[in-house]
Amino acid sequence: MEPVGEAADETAAQRALTPRQRERRARILSTTYSLLAEHGYDGVSMKMIAKSAKVAERTLFNIYSSKDLLIATSARERSDGIMLSIADNADGGELGYFYSLADTLAYETLAAPALARGLATVLVRYPDLVGLGEIYERHVGEVLKEFAERGRIGPEVVSIICNLFAMRIVSLITLWSGGMIGDDALNPQMRLAVCQVLAPHLDGDLQAEVLAEARAAVARIRTLKTYP
């Protein structure tokens, strides 16, 4: 699956940049992260980003036609980077990657809450701009394809599972951002979501394992202050 719309245009443009242009865009994205983390989505403007990144506001609009496109690009870059770290954080075992998916996303969300809330705003409003489905297909999909090759899942459900993961994770972060899930409950909620997505598509020992993990996540949630 390829990025669509403006997300695809942005990906294509990145391939043709000079080193100076790449440095400028990296500086803009880094500035956007910092300002979102400090001020949140509503508190950041293109004028503020341009000034902090030391580029002309007109130049910023020439590169990113809107604040939403800029923040969507930031969300895509950050999501891609987080996905690359999931395998490195995984413990052993066939399901280690998926537990790491939950743990890493929860950790990164809580490590920079204002930034996560700012990026979540665009994830919900403009998922096609972010290209989150493509990111999950590219990273999580590769792991699921290996599962399919070993006969652990059917190859026809790889894309379905990727989309379900993306939807469930975004939903949880949105609920957390809105104060419906407390910080302490985010990680077990993420683990529960991962298990709920996987369980119907597994059988035998792996299904038994994810069901046991799901029960453990529920038990942990019950001991926590679920709502702030």
DSSP 8-class letter at 131: T
Q: Do residues 13 and 6 touch, judged by C-beta distance below 8 A?
A: no
In the predicted model, residues of the chain with pLDDT beneath 70 are: 1-15, 225-228
Whole-angstrom distance, CA of residue 64 vs CA of residue 71: 9
Count the Cβ atoms, other than its own, within 10 Å of residue 111.
10
pTM: 0.82
Tell me the one-letter amino acid at 110.
L
Domains of the chain, CATH where assigned: 5-223 (1.10.357.10)
96-111 and 67-89 helices, crossing angle to 10°: 130
Type and span of the H or E element at 223: helix 204-223
pLDDT at 15: 56
- Calculate the alpha carbon distances from 88 to 72, 81, 145, 174 in Å: 25, 12, 18, 26
46, 44, 40: which is closest to 65 by C-alpha? 46
